[in-house]
Amino acid sequence: MTLPQSWARHARASPERPALEDAEGRRLDYAALEAQSRRAAGRLHAAGLRAGDRVLTSAAASLELAVAHVACLRLGLVVVPANTAYRAPELAHLVSDAAPSAALVDDAERSAALQAADAALAVWIPALDLPDAEPPALDVAAPEAPALIGYTSGTTGRPKGAVLSHANLEAGAEALRRAWQWTPEDRLVLALPLFHMHGLGVGLHGTLHAGACARLLPRFEPEPVLACIEAWRATLFFGVPTMYHRLAEAPGAGALARLRLCVSGSAPLSAELHARIEALTGQRILERYGMTETLMLTSNPVEGDRRPGSVGTPLPGVELRLEAETGEIQVRGPNVFRGYWGRPDATAEAFTQDGWFRTGDLGERDAAGYLRIVGRAKELIISGGYNVYPREVEEALEALPGIEQAAVVGDPSDEWGERVTAYVVGPDPPGLSALREGLAGRLAPYKQPRALHVVDALPRNALGKLQRHRLRDGRVAPETSD
């Protein structure tokens, strides 16, 4: 079964059951979701889109975006989610690489940037203000057909598109339904963006696959989230460590106590924050582990010991192995993608000869089989749940006046998981605020450094290779930080 077929099943069996709501109280039951997504699919088809065409989406979470996303998958289109914080160069790369036929965008600046990248690109708002037409047969995409291309940083620093099939998406949602005991009675407060796998692949897909309901919030703010949990009688909340850090500081944090399950992911949750949430609310956060290329891989149990600092054990259908007692995590299963869009060499490099995906993360297991992430073989930084590739930031820094060399690392942060920290060499480097202003047109805010060190030279080995680990020893105090 594909996800569109799963959703259609719920529309037939429980048409009046609520599926999606928004902060204004608008609601779609499963019958309305089926009807509105059918209408949207007819409009997209009449506009010339056909199965296999790519559609870039970049918009705040809304009922309109969710309906358009469902319509795209029902029609057999391939969704390309793009971060709403992306700037023109970042969007241009996605357009050049994925060659979308259309884009759904809710911002004039991003619309202009996309059309500058490709004048022939059709750009519409998520509400799809287009002529109505009868759609072709829906929900008929084959399980192996591409459904989504999720862009993720890779070894070159240029984002690569991980092609996820309909079968991958369904396997990922089904594993979570079983592992988290997700039922139609569950009510999820979803304040995660729908361009990220945590919000889209876990929150939206998981909710609709379980026949449950989600309330979509356009952005995360602690007070509205806590108020929604109380007033809406929510049972689930999914967030990243940065969100839990802010919730713990909010006056109404006790509202978390009423939830059946709090899930954290996209970045490591510190044991200290785990303990703080439990002391405040009685909630033991469930931490899980996944990637764009694989969806979710492991999870702490719903019933059983949720261990701080651990991401639990493999989800149903997932096989996991380590290269050594402490080594690279390798996985396989129906949730694992088959390759990167247009990158056969990168795809070959990503898999072992016997077909296991190399995650690039280093892990170790305890005696009970719980997995702990101990580092990354790759140099990826995860800040606030988003991937930041150091070389991309370094190249942007070295283009600024007064900076000759730059190196970027991730420092541990209770709030962000990792804080993007820059070390720069140059005759007259800017201060942190001016530096961030200089990067504003080139990099999304989450990629911009939050701490700055001005140094005489960057540490290198005899071959001239940068030694990043020597930048994390704390011997140089930051000039300033946010």
As a whole-number percent, the residues of the chain with pLDDT over 90 amount to 82
pLDDT beyond 50 at 472: yes
Q: What token pair was written down for 253?
A: 């944090």
The per-residue pLDDT for 470 is: 82
User: What stretch of H or E contains 161?
Assistant: strand 160-165
pLDDT of residue 153: 59
**Average pLDDT of span 441-457:** 94
Locate the DSSP E strands across 255-332.
Answer: 261-264, 286-291, 295-299, 313-314, 319-322, 326-332
Average pLDDT over residues 29-35: 98
Correct CATH for 3-374 of 3.60.20.10, 3.30.70.1710, 3.40.50.12780, 3.40.50.300: 3.40.50.12780
Residues 232 and 25: their CA atoms lie apart, in Å, by 10
What backbone phi and psi angles, to 5 degrees, belong to 273? -70, -35
> Is the model's pLDDT at 193 over the cut of 70?
yes
Q: How many CA atoms lie within 13 A of 87 on its CB side?
A: 13
Confidence at residue 479, expressed as pLDDT on a 0 to 100 scale: 52
Structure tokens at 386: 């988003």
Query: Strand locations in 377-474, DSSP E?
Result: 381-383, 386-388, 405-413, 417-425, 451-454
Q: What is the mean pLDDT of residues 94-104?
A: 98
- What pLDDT shows up at residue 271? 84
Question: Across all residues in the chain, what is the average pLDDT?
Answer: 93
- Partners of residue 405 on adjacent β-strands: 425
Q: How far is CA 264 from the centre of its chain?
A: 12
Q: Where in the chain is the domain with CATH 3.40.50.12780?
A: 3-374
* Gap between the Cα atoms of 141 and 3, Å rounded: 10
- pLDDT bucket at 27, cuts 50 / 70 / 90: very high
**Does residue 64 register a pLDDT over 70?**
yes
Among the listed residues 356, 362, 296, 297, the one whose alpha carbon sits nearest the alpha carbon of residue 332: 356
Q: Is 90 exceeded by the pLDDT of residue 471?
A: no
Residue 478, both tokens: 């930051």
The band of 481, judged by pLDDT with boundaries at 50, 70 and 90, is: very low
C-alpha triplet 268, 270, 275: angle, nearest 5°: 135
What 3-state class would DSSP assign to 313?
Answer: strand
Provide the whole-model pTM. 0.85
**C-alpha to C-alpha distances, 375 to 240, 304, 360, 469, nearest whole angstrom:** 18, 26, 9, 12
pLDDT tens column, 395-416:
899 999 999 999 999 998 988 9
Look at the block and give the residue holding tokens 């996303």.
Answer: 69
**What is the pLDDT at residue 387?**
81
The fold adopted by the segment(s) 381-481 is GMP Synthetase; Chain A, domain 3 (3.30.300)
Question: In the chain, which segments carry CATH 3.30.300.30?
Answer: 381-481
> For tokens 């290198």, what's the residue?
460
Neighbours of 428 (CB within 10 A): 7
Is the C-alpha dihedral spanning 62, 68, 70, 73 positive or negative?
negative
Per-residue DSSP letter, 351: B
Instruction: Answer whether residue 202 shows pLDDT above 90.
Output: yes
- Give residue-wise pLDDT tens across range 78-91: 999 999 999 999 99
Whether 190 has a pLDDT exceeding 60, the answer reads: yes
Percent of the chain whose pLDDT exceeds 70: 95
Number of H helices, E strands in the chain: 13, 26
CA distance 426 to 453: 11
Neighbours of 237 (CB within 10 A): 29
